Every structure is written in structure tokens, then in C-alpha cells.
């Protein structure tokens, strides 16, 4: 692997750490962050680790006006042997560049980004919580920074990585959630930005999420933007169904985000010889399967929750309950296996875990 040179500027004052047994998702941030700049003609430059701090941006910075931004989300886990494991992090860097490409943001060197990520984790290693179910959430992102009020691709960008110790996603074990099918608003359309992890997609999703919450549902089921018939995603997760012994997930159709958890679940099912297919699935088909007594399980997949079982759907004024609102056997098995691989307590036949090597306490100040 290439040796990269990253300057490290340690914080003069370490922050008070939150209690690791009572962490709220995404509210606490570590002592340092990684930062690198892009200038047209010069490329990406000055990779550095600096104390966690606010950014100073020109009010005309293009990010505020035209929304050129992409992000990633992954986690680092502390094992029982005090090793630090990442889960398929190269996939996140690969996807970051796919998102960059869609948003006309210059691609980053994936190896450098991964190296930077490991260096940052090493510097803030004592922020990785050691309580059961906790982890260190990693948020790499890119924003356009050129001050210019004209619709065009920016000539300047910042690539930043921040870290956040997060609590167990499920405080009382995994419990199925209730999902409202969204008929009016759509998340993404083919040809749009649905396949990119870009801020605008999430801004566009809030209205439907707000409506679902008002009626007592925790997430939205997104249908395709053209016919309003075919299932795309659930909230900001990919979705799976188990129907009559077969596992189904919508095929990647140009508007669905290609989840790394989604891919891992498909790989795992193939490894277990559980029939799995990626194809178009209509909401009608799911309701029909329920009517026929064949809808066995449904769950969402994503880095934050890993597996989120679905206990109820509401669509077209009809409510259906799945597996009596209880977590399905296969959902639980997938959850246990994936989280086991992530934490290093289960065998990893796929080589998905990547170790962050321990560093000698570097005296760089
Ligand atoms: C991030 C994301 C997912 C899940 O991706 P993972 O790589 O599994 O975390 C699914 N859908 C959307 C819209 C997302 O933003």
C-alpha cells in the first residue's frame, strides 16, 4: 500500500467524553477530524487531522445554494480483544466516488481516504465505546466551497471525516416497526440522484416522514416515482421480504441506493443456500402474499440499525401485520450473524472485517 503523508495536529484540550452506556445517536463528536481541500487545477491537497472544530465558509459558498454534497456512513467496532474492526470500508469509499461522480464532484483517492479514516480512528481510538451494542459511527462527506452564485460545478471542495460514538440502536432488543406506504411523495426517480448519497435526497424525504410520524408510523415505504406501484426503499434503508420461503429485494433500478448492508445480506443468504432474488416487487404483490398467508418476514437494512424488522404496513387504507408483529427467525439470524462479524465474535468467511492496526503512541504534536 502506498504511504500517505497526513499531518496531525493534536488538540491542546481533550473534551469530556459522554457516558458510553447512555449514548444518543449522532450527538457526540470526538476530539479530531480529518480535512482535505480541492482546488481546480491543483487537485486534492493538504490532507490533515486537526482538532474537531466549526468550519468557516463564505456565505456564497456553493454548498448553501446548489447543494453539491455527498456523504457516507460506516462504523468501527471494538472487539473483546481490544481490536478495532471496520466493516467493508473499501465499499464505502467506492460508493463515495460513485456519489461524487453523479454530483460532478472530483473523485477522491479511495486508498488515501481509507488510510485517513484509519489514522483518524487511531488518533481518537479512546472514543470508541466499549459497551455492548455501541460503536463509533464514521461520517465522511464532501461539500462544495467556492463562493459563487452561479449554477455550475464548484471549483473548490472540502472532504471531511468526523466520528461519533453511538449507542446500541436497539435498547430493548430488536423490535419491529410500523411502516406507512407513501403514495404522494417520492424519494427518487430513475435518472435522478437516488443512487447517490447526497443531502438533497434526505431533504426531499422529510415531508413524507413527517406525515408518517403524525399518523403513528415510524417510517415511510417508498414506491417508484413513475407508476407508484413498485417498492423501492424503506425510510433510508433498503428493504427485504421473505415470501413463501424465498427472500426478495427490489433490484437496483437506477433510483435505489446500493446499500452495503443490502449486498451483505444477499451474499450471506446465498452462502446459506437460502433462495434470494433481486427483482421488481409491487406493493400489491406483497399485500397478495399476505392475503395468501405467504408473507413471512419483512425488514429494512442499513448501517445504523443493520436489520430493522417490519411489523406492519399501512397502504390504501389497509393495514397488514407481519409475523404477528414479532421479529422473524431469519431476520434475527441475519442480524446476529452480521453484527457478530462486525464485532469479531462470529466467523468472517467473506473477509469483510478490516482491522485498524494499533499505532505506537505517536509523539507528533
Ligand atoms: C445509506 C443508505 C442505505 C443503506 O446503505 P448501507 O450501506 O447499508 O448503510 C439505504 N438507502 C439509503 C437511501 C441510504 O441513504
| pLDDT tens-digit map of 54-106 | 999 999 999 999 999 999 999 999 999 999 999 999 999 999 999 999 999 99
Contact partners, residue 104, CB within 8 Å, separation at least 6 = 68, 153
Task: Give the number of C-alpha atoms closer than 13 A to the C-alpha of residue 213, restricted to the C-beta side.
Answer: 7
- Find the 55 Cα to ligand 1 centroid distance in Å: 26
Q: How far apart are CA 316 and CA 79, in angstroms?
A: 46
Atom of ligand 1 nearest to the CA of 194: 13
1 has pLDDT over 80: no
Neighbours of 115 (CB within 10 A): 17
d(CA 300, ligand 1 centre) in Å = 10
Q: Which of the four pLDDT bands, split at 50, 70 and 90, describes residue 359?
A: confident
**pLDDT category of residue 358 using cuts at 50, 70 and 90:** confident
d(CA 359, CA 26): 26
Please compute the mean of the pLDDT values over residues 106-128 and round it to a whole number.
98
Q: Is 237 in the pocket of ligand 1 (CB under 6 A)?
A: yes
Ligand 1 midpoint to CA 206 (Å): 16
For the chain, domain boundaries: 7-167, 177-343
pLDDT value of position 3: 78
Q: If you measure from the C-alpha of residue 199 to the centroid of ligand 1, how many angstroms do you get, rounded to a whole number?
A: 13
Q: Which of 131, 109, 113 lies closest to 121 in space, CA to CA?
A: 113
* Number of CB atoms found within 10 A of residue 207's CB: 13
Taking only the tens place, the pLDDT of each residue in 25-56 is 999 999 999 999 999 999 999 999 999 999 99
* 236 CA from centroid of ligand 1 (Å): 6
Q: Is 233 in the pocket of ligand 1 (CB under 6 A)?
A: yes
Distance 238 CA to ligand 1 centre (A): 7
Q: In the chain, how long is the greatest CA-to-CA distance?
A: 66
pLDDT single digits (tens) 286-320: 999 999 999 999 999 999 999 999 999 999 999 99
Q: What is the pLDDT of residues 130-180, one digit of tens each?
A: 998 899 999 999 999 999 999 999 999 999 999 999 997 776 668 899 999
Any ligand 1 atom below 6 A from CB of 261:
yes
pLDDT band at residue 363 under the 50/70/90 scheme: very low
User: What proportion of the chain, given as a percentage, has pLDDT over 90?
Assistant: 93
Asked if residue 255 has its Cβ within 6 Å of ligand 1, the reply is no
pLDDT value of position 360: 61
Q: Are 263 and 226 in contact (CB under 8 A)?
A: no
Ligand 1 atom index nearest CA of 238: 10
Secondary structure (DSSP) of 90-124 = HHHHHHHHHHHHHTTPPPP-HHHHHHHHHHHHHHT
User: What was the pLDDT predicted at 181?
Assistant: 97
Q: Are 194 and 201 in contact (CB under 8 A)?
A: yes
Q: Stretch 190-201: mean pLDDT, rounded?
A: 97
Assigned CATH topology for domain 7-167: D-amino Acid Aminotransferase; Chain A, domain 1 (3.30.470)
Q: What is the C-alpha to C-alpha distance for residues 38 and 127, in angstroms, rounded to an integer?
A: 29
Atom 13 of ligand 1, residue of closest alpha carbon: 236
**If you write DSSP's letter for every residue of 21-83 in order, what string do you get?**
TSPPTT----SEEEEEEEETTTEEEEEEEEE-------TTBTHHHH--EEE--EEEEE-TTS-
pTM of the predicted model, to two decimals? 0.96
Cβ of 138 less than 6 Å from ligand 1: no
Q: Mean pLDDT for the chain? A: 95
Ligand 1 site, residue 304, Cβ cutoff 6 A: no
pLDDT at 246: 98
Mean pLDDT of 270-274: 98
Nearest CA, atom 12, ligand 1: 236
Instruction: Tell me how far apart the alpha carbons of residues 348 and 344 are, in angstroms, rounded to a whole number.
Output: 8
Distance separating alpha carbons of residues 153 and 70, to the nearest angstrom: 13
- Specify whether the CB–CB gap between 95 and 72 falls below 8 A: yes
User: For ligand 1, is residue 257 a contact (CB within 6 Å)?
Assistant: yes
Q: CATH assignment of 177-343, given 3.20.10.10, 3.30.70.100, 3.90.850.10, 3.10.180.10?
A: 3.20.10.10
Which pLDDT value is given to residue 94?
A: 98
Q: Where are the alpha helices (DSSP H) in the chain?
A: 63-66, 89-102, 110-123, 199-214, 260-271, 283-291, 329-343
Amino acid at each position: 500500500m502506498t504511504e500517505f503523508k497526513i499531518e496531525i495536529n493534536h488538540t491542546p484540550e481533550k473534551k469530556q467524553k459522554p457516558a458510553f452506556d447512555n449514548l444518543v445517536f449522532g450527538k457526540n463528536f470526538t476530539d479530531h477530524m480529518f480535512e482535505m481541500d480541492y482546488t481546480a487545477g491543483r487537485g486534492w491537497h493538504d490532507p490533515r487531522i486537526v482538532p474537531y472544530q466549526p468550519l468557516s465558509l463564505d456565505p456564497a459558498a456553493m454548498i448553501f445554494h446548489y447543494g453539491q454534497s455527498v456523504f457516507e456512513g460506516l462504523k468501527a467496532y471494538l472487539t473483546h480483544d481490544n481490536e478495532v474492526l471496520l466493516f467493508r470500508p473499501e465499499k464505502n469509499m467506492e460508493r463515495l466516488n460513485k456519489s461524487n461522480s453523479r454530483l460532478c464532484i472530483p473523485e477522491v483517492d479511495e486508498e488515501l481516504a481509507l488510510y485517513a479514516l484509519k489514522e483518524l480512528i487511531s488518533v481518537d481510538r479512546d472514543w470508541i465505546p466499549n459497551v455492548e451494542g455501541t460503536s463509533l459511527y464514521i461520517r465522511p462527506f464532501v461539500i462544495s466551497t467556492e463562493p459563487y452564485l452561479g449554477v455550475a460545478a464548484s471549483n473548490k471542495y472540502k472532504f471531511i471525516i468526523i466520528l461519533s460514538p453511538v449507542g446500541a440502536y436497539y435498547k430493548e432488543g430488536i423490535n419491529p416497526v410500523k411502516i406507512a406506504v407513501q403514495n404522494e411523495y417520492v424519494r427518487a426517480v430513475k435518472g435522478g440522484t437516488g443512487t447517490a448519497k447526497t443531502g438533497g435526497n434526505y431533504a426531499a424525504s422529510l415531508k413524507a416522514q413527517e406525515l408518517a410520524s403524525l399518523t403513528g408510523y415510524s417510517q415511510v415505504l417508498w414506491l417508484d416515482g413513475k407508476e407508484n406501484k413498485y417498492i423501492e426503499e424503506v425510510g433510508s434503508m433498503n428493504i427485504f421480504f421473505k415470501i413463501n420461503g424465498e427472500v426478495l429485494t427490489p433490484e437496483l433500478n437506477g433510483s435505489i441506493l446500493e446499500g452495503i448492508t443490502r449486498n451483505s445480506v444477499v451474499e450471506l443468504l446465498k452462502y446459506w443456500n437460502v433462495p434470494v432474488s433481486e427483482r421488481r416487487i409491487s406493493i400489491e404483490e406483497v399485500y397478495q402474499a399476505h392475503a395468501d398467508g405467504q408473507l413471512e418476514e419483512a425488514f429494512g437494512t442499513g448501517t445504523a440499525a443493520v436489520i430493522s424488522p417490519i411489523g406492519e404496513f399501512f397502504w390504501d387504507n389497509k393495514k397488514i401485520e407481519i409475523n404477528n408483529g414479532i421479529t422473524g427467525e431469519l431476520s434475527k439470524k441475519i442480524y446476529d450473524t452480521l453484527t457478530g462479524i462486525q464485532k469479531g465474535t462470529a466467523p468472517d468467511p467473506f473477509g469483510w472485517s478490516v482491522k485498524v492496526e494499533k499505532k505506537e503512541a505517536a509523539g507528533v504534536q
